[in-house]
Amino acid sequence: MPIYEYRCQHCGFQKEHMQKMSDAQLTTCPSCGAESYVKLLSAAGFQLKGSGWYATDFKGGGASAPAKPAETPAAGGCGGSCACHPS
């Protein structure tokens, strides 16, 4: 549901309101009662709720765990069971 910011042109009171896009625009200031409460032009905000795709797929924002590095062989690359490694 979008969050809209309103400001009263009479008293300067400013507040955010969560409204449906189909709801009528507010006009009465909750602070002074004047009919000069106007919606401000700003980036639209919204609030995600529930357990939908956002919560399950993107909420953490972190990447998956890095892959485990391959095991490295013993020094020399021969595994230690050759003529170059004395027993």
For the domain that residue 40 is a member of, what is the CATH number?
A: 2.20.28
pLDDT at 28: 97
Residue 58 lies in a domain: no
Q: For residue 8, how many other CB atoms are within 10 A of its CB?
A: 20
The answer to whether 45 and 3 have CB atoms below 8 angstroms apart is: yes
Structural domain of 29: 2-46
Per-residue pLDDT tens digits for 7-55:
999 999 999 999 998 999 999 999 999 999 999 987 655 666 666 665 5
AA letter at 50: G
Assess whether pLDDT exceeds 70 at residue 60: no
Residue 7 lies in a domain: yes
pLDDT at 15: 95
pTM confidence score: 0.49
Q: Looking at the 3D structure of the chain, how many domains does it have? A: 1
The answer to whether 39 and 28 have CB atoms below 8 angstroms apart is: no
**What mean pLDDT comes out for the span 66-84?**
58
Assess whether pLDDT exceeds 60 at residue 72: no
DSSP 8-state class, residue 2: E
